[in-house]
Amino acid sequence: MKKIAFVLVCCIGMLVACKEQHTTGRVVELTTSMGKIKIRLYDETPLHRDNFVQLVERHVYDSILFHRVIEEFMIQAGDPLSKHAANDTRLGEGSEGEWIDAEFVPTLFHKRGAVAAARLGDSQNPERKSNGSQFYIVQGKPFTRDELEHVIRSSNENLERSIYQSVVNEHLTEYQRLQTANDLPAIDSLEGKIKRRCDSLFEARKQVLTDEQARIYTTVGGAPHLDGAYTVFGEVISGLDIVDKIAATQVDRNDRPIKNIRIIKAKIIR
């Protein structure tokens, strides 16, 4: 009986392990016209992971262009309109599928090689939902400590202004009504409510780097000003040299490569 029980436990363990290998640690290989890039998708961002896997399995990324390239920053792809676009067409407006709820995880940041989702700006997209298919790979650059502190300070200042404007817009009609009625006590109360709301949102969203993140940004490099604003859902595990080659290509005034660079085929390899 003990032997039977031992065998059963081993079998169950093997089944669980097989299931975990199937559902976690997904790796995607992008065969581009300049070489291969392998991406590991994060389990901490399941909405983006599963969406990316589904798009790959549906061959949505096959033959798509890297339509926006900025050296020392990032390379962007995923616009379905780019597959058959003329050379002078400005791209970046397309999306395949539904927009995805943001999945901000403090430990996932825009280091060199990070894979993140593109999106519309805050004014059009205050919830910071991700485009259904467009993504970018960070090339970035190393920052000095002073540069990094300046970037974080500027990002937080911009965030504070954005939050204030958004909250004020939410209460604008009420504020105008109280001003028309010259109801000073109610105006004071509303202003206090707005300030508390702004402070709460800022504390929840403000950018604070850990020592490890600061070390990586000052040695390996990345794009720290994007942290907390765009969902990071993966990282390059092979092919950063290809990312560098793509980033170094000549582009037009819209940052589109002069010579088309395609994802020839995307496939799940694990």
Q: Which residues contact 66 (CB under 8 A, 6 or more apart)?
A: 32, 75, 76, 77, 246, 257, 261, 262, 263
The answer to whether position 10 is within a domain reads no
Indicate the number of domains in the chain: 2
pLDDT in tens, 57-97: 999 999 999 999 999 999 999 999 999 999 889 999 999 98
Tell me which residue range forms the domain holding 157. Answer: 148-205
120 and 226 fall within a common domain: yes
Q: What is the pLDDT of residue 124?
A: 87
User: Which of 203-207, 224-228, 253-257 is predicted least confidently?
Assistant: 203-207
pTM of the model: 0.83
159 and 254 fall within a common domain: no
pLDDT in tens, 108-146: 999 999 999 999 988 889 889 999 999 999 999 999 999
Report how far Cα 87 is from the mean position of its chain's Cα atoms: 27
The answer to whether position 9 is within a domain reads no
93 and 136 fall within a common domain: yes
C-alpha span between 262 and 82 (Å, rounded): 9
43 and 136 fall within a common domain: yes
